[in-house]
Amino acid sequence: MNDSDSSSGSWIHWGIFNIPPQMIELDEDQPKERNLKLGIRQVVNDFGKPGYHGPLGATEKHKYVFTVCALDEMLQVKFNCNGEDLLKAMYGHVLEKAIIRTYYGNKRKGEGLSVR
């Protein structure tokens, strides 16, 4: 999950990989650890910690991008990998991908979460 409207240009809130192909869903509240069950791994996000870190209370609406990729193999990356390391390791292994863009920010009259 990437905040593409961050003041730094891009901010990784979550990266998870090596999800077995037979899995059709993930449990809520995954532990904030690098290594999960079944060989699933999480990157160190831009907050400096592994696992999911949700949107902060921005004063303006931000665009959050979720990208899901099917890969042709499980990835071998260093233990403390970050989002950039993950993208480099994925290069040449993406079979298919889907992108969901959402918008979130401080709620004003008539505004809230929207999905496009």
Look up tokens 């192909």; give the residue: 21
Average pLDDT, the chain: 88
Q: Which two tokens stand for residue 106?
A: 């401080």
Q: Where are the alpha helices (DSSP H) in 10-111?
A: 83-90
Is pTM beyond 0.85 here?
Answer: no
One-letter amino acid of 55: P
Per-residue pLDDT band for 60 (boundaries 50, 70, 90) equals confident
Angle at 112 between CA 111 and CA 116, to 5 degrees: 100
* 78-101 pLDDT, tens digit each: 999 999 999 999 999 999 999 999
Asked if pLDDT for residue 105 goes beyond 60, the answer is yes
Asked if pLDDT for residue 109 goes beyond 70, the answer is no
Domain span at 97: 2-115
> Is residue 74 a contact partner of residue 18, using CB atoms and an 8 Å limit?
yes
Number of C-beta neighbours around residue 66 at 10 A: 14
| Domain total in the chain | 1
How far apart CA 72 and CA 93 sit, in angstroms, is 5
* CATH number of the domain where residue 104 is located: 3.90.280.10
The pLDDT, as a whole number, for residue 6 is 82
